[in-house]
Structure 1
């Protein structure tokens, strides 16, 4: 029992240090071992939570250690026996919130595929746990994020942190490649994670994330179009409002989709060609969401629609220019197409 008490004291100190400048001294192996010790505490909780005698002894030891750490380290937050059940979660949150956290943390969370499997840390149990969401996704901005699941919100925040800390574009691309491999066969899940990453962080980190992600998508044939199609119009509009980079890329995708519409003279409707991913109505709805996403976005979108209409000849007749008809539909709802 004395050995267990000593190990518990060490883990409590580790949790406290993970919130201080001292964490900058941790290398990849230290981060790996820290999570292993946190997992050990979770095992202690599982093993002894129903053993009154052992639990009482452990709680007494925790109380003594909390008191000592509180006197010497102001950053220390008391840890109860019940907290041991989520020790890895607490460590993860401390590190992600600590500005001094080393890049080695991201090497553990998003490992290089060349690293042997035994040196990798599996986050799957953390990500799917509700408590991880409560801790990581308690953002000040309460703006609704339509269409995103809890898991995507959490993974997106982790991805944003990883890309921001990657240091170079090459390392950032390797992170995205790793996420792509992990999401093989579940592309909608990957798109949700990317969307959540683009919505995470402050303006500076968001700009870095958007630049890296958009470059990565544009180097994969059709990937950006697939992403925009998979995300609901409201979410794409929210992303456009948050990121000028995404807004430009998204409008480019919308223009490409419009080029795949042709006018059916017999039916008096715009229909997709064999390569067309969306209908005229779906395209109109996406532009409408952009116009309704705020004054600045409305002005930019209407300016571009006007330019596209003029470039197409600025005809008044229906069926000649998709941009004329789309603008008319947005303004008046006149055409039933």
Structure 2
């Protein structure tokens, strides 16, 4: 066992070497040897992933072999990916070794030819797709042009979370928020990370609906349990990251359009109540101006949503599912009651919002409860 632990200690050195100028001296034989070591580390991961005590021992020895604890036991399973990515990004790799690496990526050995999630071929496709999607365009990309890249980033995030959840489940551990999760999201620009998280949540929510609906098989008890488990492993960390920080959640809700937030609130009850509370706080900063005959911001520094924006967002919530519509209507009626339950316009922002939203939807023949 000690010999095995000493071998595991060599992983940080292998990855550091692949990122350094030392690869200038690598030939095809050296490259093949490095890839063989990466596959060996992956084999160790697959062999010990269901044995918690050995996982902990290997992870502890791996952390001890590096200056910063960035590598752990799960990285053993992705070692071919990590090594291949480091070499692809290292311009010092000689042309001969580079061609050998590309051949191994595009024409993997028989052991990697199948649909194995950690294969180097999959890494090459993802890396190529990422580079192509990131190419600048002229004129600047429109929101519609950005959609493929946004979907690709969201799917990569979902895939990583599913892998973490499956590993935790196979090892008999509770699926919590991965340690890498917050650090990865915080590296993205603030507006962009909100779009990626929203796209991932919508993709996961739609996938859960497809898995749980349609036919007797889709409504089976086992199918529902599997769907709920998968959604918890993937959507749970995303939702916790959002609602766990009030400032971040407020920025998320104020950045995204009302229609998208209504879809998210309809899929995830964990978002609907905080979102309604946020809208209630925004409405409390509106003041009725009798000279203009409309609601205006009483304090521009605190009132982030105008009357028109607030009305549009509540309308989107009303147009959601029956459950979301009922929850929104109940929230508005409660706010109206706490504000004096006035029936005359201009006295309570909640009376006017409730009246205008329901009147607007009646014109569109939307049944109200």
Aligned equivalents of 1:307 and 1:316: distance in 2? 14
| SS in structure 2 of the partner of residue 128 of structure 1 | helix
Match of 1:128 in 2: 130
1:242 CA drift (Å): 1.4
Alpha carbons 2:282, 2:305 under 8 Å: kept: yes
Matched, 1:204 2:232: yes
Give how far 1:281 is off: 1.0
Aligned pairs (5 A) from 1:276-295 = 276-295=303-322
Aligned partners of 1:172, 1:190: CA distance in 2, in Å? 17
Residue 182 of structure 2 is matched in structure 1 by 176
Q: Structure 1 CA distance, aligned partners of 2:149 and 2:232?
A: 23
Does residue 246 (structure 1) correspond to residue 306 (structure 2)? The answer is no
TM-score, length-scaled by structure 1: 0.60
Q: Contact 1:284–1:326 at 8 Å: present in 2 too?
A: yes
Residues 261 and 276 in structure 1, CA contact (< 8 A), matched pair in contact too: yes
Aligned pair count? 265
Output the aligned Cα RMSD.
4.8
Asked whether the 8 Å contact 1:148–1:192 carries over to 2, the reply is no
Q: Name the SS for the 2:304 alignment partner.
A: coil
Give 5+ residue unaligned stretches, structure 2.
1-26, 50-54, 60-71, 135-146, 205-229, 362-369
Residues 158 and 234 in structure 2, CA contact (< 8 A), matched pair in contact too:
no
CA-CA distance at 1:31 after TM superposition: 4.8
Q: Given that residues 200 and 206 in structure 1 are in contact (C-alpha distance below 8 angstroms), is that contact kept between their aligned partners in structure 2?
A: no
Cα gap change, 1:48/1:273 in structure 2, threshold over 3 Å: closer, same or farther?
farther
Cα distance 1:32–1:74, how it changes in 2: closer, same or farther (>3 A)? closer
Change (3 A) 1:241 1:265: same
Report the alpha carbon displacement of residue 238 of structure 1 after superposing the two structures with TM.
1.3
After superposition, the C-alpha distances for 1:172-203 in whole angstroms (9 at most, x for unaligned) are 587425632x24xx321232233245445443
Equivalent of 1:213 in 207, 232, 241: 241
Q: Deviation of residue 332 (structure 1)?
A: 1.6
* In structure 1, distance between residues paired with 2:130 and 2:264: 24
The answer (yes or no) to whether the contact 2:296–2:306 under 8 Å persists in 1 is yes
- Where does residue 330 of structure 2 map in the other structure? 303
Residues 318 and 329 in structure 2, CA contact (< 8 A), matched pair in contact too: yes
Sort the Cα spacing of 1:39 and 1:7 in 2 relative to 1 into closer, same or farther, 3 A: farther
Q: What is the alpha-carbon distance in structure 1 between the residues aligned to residue 129 and residue 152 of structure 2?
A: 6
Residue 214 (structure 1) shift: 4.0
